[in-house]
Amino acid sequence: MAHHASALKQMRQSRKRRDRNRRNTSQVKSQIRKLRTLVAQGDAKAAQAALDGTISEIDRAAKKGVVHRNAAARYKSRLSKKISALAGA
């Protein structure tokens, strides 16, 4: 356990950041999971409607640095491709 005031403050800050990052990561993952479930069920209209919210959530996470911007682009691309294939079928 740290004893210096600066070390104690750093521990408090890192705990806050870790909790915030976990919360944001969890939101993104659950949103993606919901969308993938809709795609697996074959519900094209609901999946298309959920895509906008999911992309927004991914962009927000990338902006905050929780998800790397290239990873965010990859998620969005793959999800969009799946939904396009579902709508075309």
Confidence of residue 2 (pLDDT cuts 50, 70, 90): confident
pTM greater than 0.85 (yes/no): no
pLDDT digits (tens, 9 = 90+) for 29-67: 999 999 999 999 998 999 999 999 999 999 999 999 999
Confidence of residue 12 (pLDDT cuts 50, 70, 90): very high
- For residues 72 and 40, what is the distance between their CA atoms, to the nearest angstrom? 21
Sign of CA dihedral 24, 14, 62, 60: positive
- For residue 19, what is the enclosing H or E element? helix 5-41
Amino acid at 12: R
pLDDT at 80 over 80: yes
Sign of CA dihedral 53, 59, 65, 71: positive
- For residues 52 and 13, what is the distance between their CA atoms, to the nearest angstrom? 33
- For residues 27 and 44, what is the distance between their CA atoms, to the nearest angstrom? 22
